Each structure stands twice: as structure tokens, then as C-alpha cells.
């Protein structure tokens, strides 16, 4: 994998062409190949904390908060997947990174699919985890957007957590569960709803087969949000891709951190 130039600082903000400020952080040797980690809907870059120790040696990790999440700003209005993908391209441009490995989970995996189709020259290897090429019906997303905008994140938090993790993980009251719940509640309702619109309007099924970069697809055997058949459909559409199914629900990197990290390292090499 090609080496990337050293980043100017280990963390900061990049202001995009539309004025949105994207928060980012890097960990690991500056001379190592870059691995971008992209968060799910309703979380922030901290969702990857369990992976940092193992990955920030062979790679220069670049984590960022998707627009509307974490420390990034939340512009008003609906967002598009095209905008979320271009956010990554602009972030790479601002940091002087020509090419990087990319791993995204859920919404991050949708962003990864967009990059694989529309900006393949920026991607070395691609990991699409617990994601989908189309998540309907649109009415359900619109309803969720309305609830969040009117009542805030607390109105949906428990229902979301119940879909993110298996009952056994929730019963264990793991530290990762509490931290993830905090991230969800701290998410801007406007930012969450804006990204919901990107999922509502997304249908990558006609183009996902155009991805030509080496690709790993990770699914969760008990994932109610993006069931195993969603991962299987993506893997079937992308020639030469690998499929790994973990014993987890939606946020598989938190519920099964060791297995997730192992699958990542085995693929990236």
C-alpha cells in the first residue's frame, strides 16, 4: 500500500466548501498507510475506541465525525449521500492524503459504497460493515426524522439501542453500551435527521457493482437494522469481495471488538 504524507496535527477541524466544520483525529505513525474510520448514524468517532490500540500501529488512523455528529457542525436541512461522500474527499484533500483505506459501519458503510463508486481513485481497500445499499421504506425514515426534530434524541434512544445490540450484550451492561448510549443522546437532532434523509433517499443497488477496489463486507448474524441478507447482497454485487459474518447485532465492532478487528487486519494485510 502506498505511503501517505505526514498529517499536520493529530486532531482538528476542516471547514468544507459549504461551511460545515468536520472534526477529525489521527493516531499512529505518520509514515504508515492511512485507514479512515467512518461512524454510524447516531454515534461519533469514539465508536472506534476499541479498535485504536490494534490498528494505530500498522496504520495511521484517521477518524472523523460525520456532519451533524460528534464535534462536527450540523447544518440545517436534509443531507444527501453525495454530500457525505464529498465530505470525505474534501477531508482527504485538506489533509494532503491522496489515497487511503476506508472502513465505514452502517451510515459509514453507505459513505464507503459511494466512495467506491464515485471516487475509487481515493480508496486503496474498502470495508463495508453492517450496512446496506438501500434501506427503505422512505416513510419510516421520514417519521423518525419528524420525531427527532420535534421531541429530541431521547424519544428514540432506547428503540435504537435495542436494534444496535443483542439482548445478551445489553443485559451485560458493558461499558461500550453506556458509552454508545451517551453518544446517541449527545447527537444533534438536526444532524441526525439530516443524515436520516441521506439514508431515506439512498439507493445504491444499480451502481454498487461498479466498485472495483478490494472489498470486505462485514455483517452481523443478529442485525435487525441491516440483516445478513443486506451484507450478502453487497458482497454478491461486488466482484471478488469477501464476506465475514460476526455473532453480533448492528454495531458489531463494539459488540465483538476482537473479532471485528481481526477481520479488518486479515483483510487489510
- The string of DSSP codes covering 210-251 is G--S-EEEEEETT-SSS-HHHHHHHHHHSTT-EEEEESSSS-
Q: For every one of its 269 residues, what pLDDT tens digit does the chain have, with 9 covering 90 and above?
A: 444 444 445 899 999 999 999 999 999 999 999 999 999 999 999 999 999 999 999 999 999 999 999 999 999 999 999 999 999 999 999 999 999 999 999 999 999 999 999 999 999 999 999 999 999 899 999 999 999 999 999 999 999 999 999 999 999 977 889 999 999 999 999 999 999 999 999 999 999 999 999 999 999 999 999 999 999 999 999 999 999 999 999 999 999 999 999 999 999 98
pLDDT score of 174:
78
What's the distance, CA 118 to chain centroid? Answer: 17
DSSP letter at 7 equals P
Taking the CA atoms of residue 185, residue 66, residue 232 and residue 245 in that order, the dihedral angle to the nearest 10 degrees is -60
Cell of 221: 448474524
Task: Give the three-state DSSP class for 71.
Answer: coil
Task: Give the three-state DSSP class for 34.
Answer: strand
Residue from 19, 27, 18, 68 nearest 44 by CA: 68
pLDDT score of 9:
59
The domain limits of the chain are 11-268
pLDDT score of 239:
98
Cell of 254: 463494539
pLDDT score of 2:
42
Peptide bond into 48 cis (omega under 30): no
11-268, CATH topology level: Rossmann fold (3.40.50)
pTM: 0.95
pLDDT score of 18:
97
Amino acid at each position: 500500500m502506498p505511503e501517505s504524507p505526514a498529517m499536520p496535527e493529530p486532531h482538528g477541524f476542516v471547514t468544507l466548501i459549504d461551511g460545515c466544520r468536520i472534526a477529525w483525529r489521527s493516531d499512529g505513525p505518520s509514515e504508515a498507510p492511512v485507514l479512515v474510520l467512518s461512524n454510524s448514524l447516531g454515534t461519533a468517532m469514539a465508536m472506534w475506541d476499541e479498535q485504536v490500540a490494534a490498528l494505530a500501529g500498522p496504520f495511521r488512523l484517521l477518524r472523523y465525525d460525520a456532519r451533524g455528529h460528534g464535534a462536527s457542525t450540523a447544518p440545517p436541512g436534509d443531507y444527501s449521500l453525495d454530500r457525505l461522500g464529498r465530505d470525505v474527499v474534501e477531508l482527504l484533500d485538506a489533509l494532503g492524503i491522496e489515497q487511503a483505506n476506508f472502513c465505514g459501519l452502517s451510515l459509514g458503510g453507505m459513505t464507503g459504497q459511494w466512495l467506491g463508486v464515485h471516487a475509487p481513485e481515493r480508496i486503496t481497500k474498502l470495508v463495508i460493515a453492517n450496512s446496506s445499499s438501500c434501506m427503505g421504506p422512505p416513510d419510516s425514515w421520514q417519521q423518525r426524522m419528524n420525531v427527532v426534530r420535534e421531541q429530541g434524541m431521547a424519544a428514540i434512544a432506547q428503540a435504537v439501542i435495542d436494534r444496535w445490540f443483542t439482548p445478551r450484550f445489553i443485559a451485560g451492561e458493558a461499558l461500550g453500551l453506556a458509552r454508545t448510549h451517551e453518544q446517541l443522546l449527545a447527537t444533534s437532532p438536526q444532524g441526525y435527521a439530516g443524515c436520516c434523509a441521506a439514508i431515506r433517499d439512498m439507493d445504491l443497488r444499480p451502481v454498487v457493482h461498479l466498485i472495483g477496489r478490494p472489498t470486505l463486507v462485514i455483517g452481523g448474524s443478529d442485525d435487525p437494522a441491516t440483516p445478513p441478507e443486506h451484507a450478502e447482497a453487497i458482497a454478491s454485487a461486488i466482484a471478488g469481495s469477501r464476506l465475514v459474518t460476526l455473532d453480533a447485532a448492528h454495531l458489531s465492532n463494539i459488540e465483538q471488538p476482537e473479532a471485528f478487528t481481526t477481520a479488518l487486519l486479515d483483510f487489510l494485510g
